[in-house]
Amino acid sequence: MSETPEKTLQIALVAHDACKETLVSWVGRHVAFFEAANIFATGTTGGLLKEHHPGLTVNAFKSGPLGGDQQIGALISEDKLDALFFFIDPMSPMPHDVDVKALTRLAIVYDIPMACSTATANCIVNYMSQSV
């Protein structure tokens, strides 16, 4: 009997400016989980992840307002993402609110796990860690 190879998870990480530090720190607490995944991130978030966690495989797209949100949305619509971690700052105005809504809408339409807070993100990581 041959063993089936483990699937490499495809994960998107996005954070608004006020939440970037929180996301980078949170990823550090779950670095073993993310080391086994391919990560897709919007521009600045991806750069920060590469800087603080050089052992991770991070594919950085454009900045969110410059099309990065749509690039991640395309991965969702092509069934190429397993989860979306999108740390949203609910207290700051969002000039590109339509992009945020479009991205979260796609995650719902395509029924992928999506976390917008550390509490939900922890639940998803714990669940996916047991399922892989």
Residues that are catalytic: 69
Q: Confirm if 75 and 10 have CB atoms less than 8 A apart.
A: yes
Judged on CB neighbours under 10 Å (0-12, 13-18, 19+), 32 is exposed
Strand order in the sheet with 9-15: 57-60, 37-41, 9-15, 83-87, 114-115
